[in-house]
Amino acid sequence: MNDLQRTSDWYLSRKGKLTASEIYILLANHKEDMTEAELEQFKKDNPKSRVRTKEVPFSQGTFSYLDEKIAEQFMPNDAFLEYMEDSAPRSRAMDWGTLMEDSARTRYQEETENEVLDAPFVPLKEFEKFAGGSPDGIIRSGGIIEIKCPFNPAVHLKHFLYEKAEDLKEDNLQYYCQIQYNMICVERETGVEVPFGNFVSYDPRTSISKQLKVLRIPKDEEIQLQLLERTQLAVEYFKERIYQINKSEKIV
């Protein structure tokens, strides 16, 4: 396991922040009615359409996620750590993934000859107080890695069928966005371009030739820009909500 992660300091560094592993949540939208001007223009462009609504950020699920992060910012550190201990989901699948991560990293380094450095939580420059990511490793020669060790062997073999980055994007947007966001965080922190992230799937229970899958995920400037735009919107919501909470009277 990455020695810089899953420690008390690591949890505290993530406290109240958007994280790469959950950043895909910011892409969800909700529908609302178009304004009269928007509807008039839309009908000109689409005379046969009966659509009267538009999609706008965010979904109710997104707002719930943001509110949870805001609540964390108001918690003392000791209370937050206790809360994380009590509320963290536990399962055999999660334990398996954590247990296998070191083996996966070692196997990856052996087969690719890439040296992998441990990575801490990396705050997102410009939004340090509100966002960041924790890559599973930084490749010394350039790039990052994201390791997944599925408990279900069938999931690993599904990963094994991926042939291009688009396959991961279509099948698991969460993982795809996690890699892209971690690339942004590391690139901004180091000032060195991060041109790709390697998606690594590992299962030692399968035949030797199928135990490790490495799929290169190139930088996706379009999705990275979208994630940064959504981060900006989320941070604006954070600031407004925190301001409202701070100015609210305790007794009314």
Per-residue pLDDT tens digits for 169-215? 999 999 999 999 999 999 999 999 999 999 999 999 999 999 999 99
Instruction: With H, G, I as helix, E, B as strand and everything else as coil, classify residue 123.
Output: strand
Angle subtended at Cα 213 by Cα 28 and Cα 107, rounded to the nearest 5 degrees: 120
* Element holding 223 (H helix, E strand): helix 221-247
Q: Is the pLDDT of residue 4 over 80?
A: no
Res 156: pLDDT: 98
Distance, in Å, from the CA atom of 233 to the CA atom of 103, rounded to the nearest integer, reads 39
Q: Is the pLDDT of residue 54 over 90?
A: yes
Amino acid identity of residue 216, one-letter, is R
Amino acid identity of residue 208, one-letter, is I
Tokens of 6: 């899953």
* Average confidence (pLDDT) over 10-24: 97
Q: How far apart are the first and last CA of the chain?
A: 50
Percent of the chain with pLDDT over 90: 93
pLDDT in tens, 220-239: 999 999 999 999 999 999 99
Q: Is the pLDDT of residue 1 over 60?
A: no
Query: Which band of pLDDT confidence, cut at 50, 70 and 90, is reported for residue 90?
Result: confident
Instruction: With H, G, I as helix, E, B as strand and everything else as coil, classify residue 132.
Output: strand
pLDDT in tens, 136-160: 999 999 999 999 999 999 999 999 9
Q: Mean pLDDT, the chain, as a whole number?
A: 96
Task: Kindly report the number of other CB atoms within 10 A of residue 177's CB atom.
Answer: 25
Place of tokens 């989320």: 234
Domains of the chain with bracketed CATH = 8-23+61-247 (3.90.320.10)
Amino acid identity of residue 134, one-letter, is S
The larger pLDDT score, comparing residue 168 to residue 95, is at 168
Positive or negative, the Cα torsion across 108, 111, 112, 115?
positive
Query: Which band of pLDDT confidence, cut at 50, 70 and 90, is reported for residue 87?
Result: confident
Cis peptide before 58 (omega within 30 of 0): yes
